[in-house]
Chains A and B, each alone.
Chain A
Amino acid sequence: MTQERFIAEVRQQQEPLRRFLLALCAGNGALADDIAQDALVRAYVASGSFLGLSKFSTWLFRIAYNCYIDNCRKSCPEDAPLQEAVGVQSADSSDRIFRYQQLYQALEKLPEKEKAAIALFYFEDRSIKEISAILDMPQGTVKYQLSMGRQHLKQHIQL
């Protein structure tokens, strides 16, 4: 894959990728972008091994998820500043800011796999099959993670 083609693909995928990582990082935008950059460099280095057996975005999200997991192992994400959530663009009403804070606080309490499954399914509109490929787990497990994630979120989000 040439550098130009890779950049073109990245241009298309950068927003969903950053949003996915932003959800995983519980609203810490700086950390999410850092992991996204790391993932893109890794993807670029490995782009020669991309055979096109899956969609480029699926492959890229999988690398990003692995980068996120590596980052979690290196440093605990509990110090993710929640005030980042306040700075979210277009969140101009205090109600909306409160809902984002609530969402990120709830997401932060979820186990990584549940969080990733929830983010991919509800924020990125990915199919169970795609999530299964990204998270490298059977489709049944993805459904289970989604179900558990919803239950856990319900305990932490007041509606």
Chain B
Amino acid sequence: MSAIKAKHQRLVLLVIALAALIGAGLLAAWALSKQASYFYVPSDLVAHPPEQGRAVRLGGMVQRGSIKTMPDGVTITFVVGDGKATVPVRYAGITPDLFVEGSGVVAEGRMEGTTFVADNLLAKHDEKYVPREMKDMTQAQAKAVVAETK
């Protein structure tokens, strides 16, 4: 193909680049609506359960006396509550260091039946690194929740 004769090569390039970028933006918007994982507290999760298998995050307090280890030694189950509702959680893996009963946790995973199956647990790491959802939660709800779980 010979060089374009029109004076407008710059314009053509600009249009192509813009089209590609707008395409990228639309694609991103569409993919985000499908793939973003929403944050739930137990009462939301019970009231409006997300569709089965969809990736979501669950945040709440680990109820006292609820952590149990399965016979395989690596799968644990526990119950997460926010003072209004509770959700059973199953997790296979090494737990974060500050994952203890009566403390906050954010679990990444999905609903399978009525159980939340977690792929990953985020606990308070140290004073300077708190999962964002948990920080809000501890301010707003921690006292009530902790009082209730005692």
> Are A and B interaction partners?
no
